[in-house]
């Protein structure tokens, strides 16, 4: 009796969420996989089954590899740097500091701004000759450069913005974790004669490990999900130096309207995210968080 009542009530309550999740998450995931096996319909030519042709094309596509490489560099630089900064910020803000609230706000403010706005402001800083960054570089005799226009520096310029924007966000999680560390533990370390650095390494950092894993997973997802600044600042230029995977999908799908190929590219992105999910469920959940 109770079981059937539960199934009825539960089912009805879940219905709206289930319909929406099916329509905009599961069905598109399946649809992407199916579409990646078809050619793109053009004009009167309908899409035909092409097997793994789109994937073959992807393997031969230098832009795809460029995007993957860029995304890897982007993730491997933005994530550790913004997390290290976030940890430092959290430690600073958590210490007895004059004007603590103001400092915390300064670190956190970039986080709540839209990436589009951030990108537009920074576009101005990066402007050759009169942008703030370029004027700073002029002091060292490196001025007059269009940092966003040169293949060697364009991705780096985007990386700087991402770190600036993300560090304050990650700081919040470290701060929350730091405030949960029992003061007795730190006092005990102090009584044992441990220096600040020893306490940091032996007590604080291990206790922050769950938070570090939690943040890194969010950061990895973020590195593949957020491409607003690419759209605003470079559109992948120069010479695909700033093309990230999701931006390439966007470009292929809505610039060239090549939906078949865009689907194949999306499958790669889905695989990457699935790998992260497996890692999280298999490894991280055993040790950390959730629950």
Partner 1 sequence: MSADFRSTPVIALTTVGAWLLAVLWVLPLLYGFWTAFHPAEFAARFDLSAPWTLDNFRRVWDAAPFSRYFLNTFFLVSLILVCQFVICTMAAYAFVCFPFRGSEILFMLVLVQLMIMPEVLLVENYRTLSRIGLLDTTLGIALPYLASAFGIFLFRQTFKSIPKELEEAARLEGANALQILLRVFVPVAKPTYIAYGLVTVSYHWNNFLWPLVVTNSVETRPITVGLQVFATVEQGVDWSLVTAATLLSVTPLLVAFLLFQRQFVQSFMRAGIR
* Nearest distance, CB of residue 117 and partner 1, angstroms: 5
188 contributes a contact to partner 1 by CB under 8 A: no
Q: Which of 37, 67, 89, 155 binds partner 1 (CB under 8 A)?
A: 89
Is 226 within 8 Å of 115 (Cβ atoms)? yes
Radius of gyration of the chain (CA): 24
Question: Is 205 an interacting residue with respect to partner 1 (CB under 8 A)?
Answer: no
**Closest separation between CB of residue 71 and partner 1, Å?**
13
* Binding pattern for the stretch 213-252 against partner 1, x by CB under 8 A and - elsewhere: -x------x--xx-xx--xx-------------x--xx--
- Is residue 262 a contact point for partner 1 (CB under 8 A)? yes
Q: Residues 16 to 55: which contact partner 1 by CB under 8 A?
A: 16-18, 20-21, 23-29, 31-32, 35
Q: Which of residues 52-81 bind partner 1 (CB under 8 A)?
A: none
Q: Give me the least distance between CB of 287 and partner 1, in Å please.
A: 16
Q: How far does CA 80 lie from the centroid of its chain?
A: 12
Residue number with CB closer to partner 1 (174 or 241): 174
Among 50, 273, 284, 288, binds partner 1 (CB under 8 A): 273
Query: For tokens 């469920």, what's the residue?
Result: 281
Q: By three-state DSSP, how is residue 42 classified? A: strand
Q: Which two tokens stand for residue 8?
A: 């009825």
Query: Which H/E stretch holds residue 102?
Result: helix 100-112
How far from chain centre, in Å, is Cα 24? 21
- Sequential DSSP letters for 133-172: HHHHHHHTT--S--GGGSTTTHHHHHHHHHHHHHHHHHHH
Minimum distance between the CB of residue 251 and partner 1, rounded to whole angstroms?
11
């Amino acid at each position: 009796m109770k079981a059937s009542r539960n199934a009825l009530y539960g089912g009805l309550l879940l219905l709206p969420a289930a319909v929406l999740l099916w329509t905009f998450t599961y069905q598109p995931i399946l649809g992407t996989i199916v579409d990646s096996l078809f050619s793109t319909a053009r004009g009167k030519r309908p899409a035909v089954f092409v097997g793994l042709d789109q994937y073959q094309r992807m393997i031969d596509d230098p832009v795809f590899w460029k995007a993957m490489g860029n995304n890897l560099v982007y993730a491997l630089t933005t994530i550790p740097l913004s997390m290290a900064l976030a940890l430092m910020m959290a430690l600073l803000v958590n210490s007895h500091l004059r004007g603590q609230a103001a400092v915390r706000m300064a670190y956190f403010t970039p986080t709540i701004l839209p990436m589009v706005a951030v990108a537009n402001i920074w576009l101005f800083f990066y402007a050759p000759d009169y942008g703030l960054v370029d004027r700073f570089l002029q002091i060292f005799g490196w001025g007059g450069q269009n940092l966003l226009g040169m293949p060697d520096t364009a991705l780096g310029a985007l990386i700087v913005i991402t770190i600036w924007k993300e560090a304050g966000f990650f700081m919040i999680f470290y701060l929350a974790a730091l405030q949960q560390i029992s003061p007795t533990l730190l006092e005990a370390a102090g009584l044992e004669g441990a220096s600040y650095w020893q306490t940091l390494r032996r007590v604080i950092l291990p206790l922050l490990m769950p938070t570090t894993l939690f943040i890194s997973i969010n950061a990895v997802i973020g590195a593949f999900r957020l491409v607003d600044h690419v759209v605003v600042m470079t559109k992948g230029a120069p010479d695909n130096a700033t093309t990230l995977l999701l931006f390439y999908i966007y470009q292929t799908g809505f610039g060239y309207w090549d939906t078949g190929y865009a689907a194949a590219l999306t499958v790669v992105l889905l695989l990457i995210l699935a790998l992260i999910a497996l890692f999280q469920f298999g490894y991280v959940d055993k040790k950390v968080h959730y629950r």
